[in-house]
Structure 1
């Protein structure tokens, strides 16, 4: 099942560290089938406030997300992001194509 790496970043310092991170991250995603779905796009808030940028990266499955995050190549650049932005990161499972809202009630 498709899984996603999701991050919400705030206080991003677009300096040399973040620029290097952005220049190198695509090469870390490719071996794990990762691709950006949302990457700091403009937001139109419908309810509440969102204080930062949203990043969503799609992977074939949860194992691929974990493999990417723990990979040597990604670990080499991770500090370039964490030293220059605050935020959270998580793995989230996708849903099947026939998913209905009430399916969550079974959990």
Structure 2
């Protein structure tokens, strides 16, 4: 089942560090089947509440791959380039199976 790395980016300090991070991140994703689905789009529409910042969504084949990427030496090497120049909240979450319906969540709530 797919998994996702989701980031709500609150601020970015553009400069050499973040540019190097962007140049190197794709190579860290490839061994784990990761690919960007959303990457700080210029067009966005807040339909409820406020949305300050940007959104990033990276898809992985599963939670094992997402976690392995996050913990990988290659990603850990470039992580300071991001954390020193970006404020963000990041979560790794599993997706739902094909055909999932929201009503299925009721089973766990009863």
**In 2: Cα distance, 1:106 partner to 1:86 partner:** 37
Measured on the aligned residues, the alpha-carbon RMSD in Å equals: 0.8
Q: Map of 1:60-75 to 2, 5 A cutoff?
A: 60-75=61-76
Per the normalisation by structure 1, the TM-score is: 0.96
Q: CA deviation at 1:25?
A: 0.1
Please give the per-residue CA displacement for 1:30-74, whole angstroms capped at 9, x wherever unaligned.
000000001101211111111111110000000000000000000
- Matching residue of 2:91: 90
Report whether the alignment pairs 1:48 with 2:53.
no
Per the normalisation by structure 2, the TM-score is: 0.94
**In 1: Cα distance, 2:8 partner to 2:21 partner:** 16
Runs of 4 or more above 6 Å deviation: none
- Matching residue of 1:36: 36
**In 1: Cα distance, 2:33 partner to 2:26 partner:** 10
Which consecutive residues of structure 1, in runs of 5 or more, have no partner in the other structure? none
Q: CA deviation at 1:87?
A: 1.3
Give the length in aligned residue pairs. 107
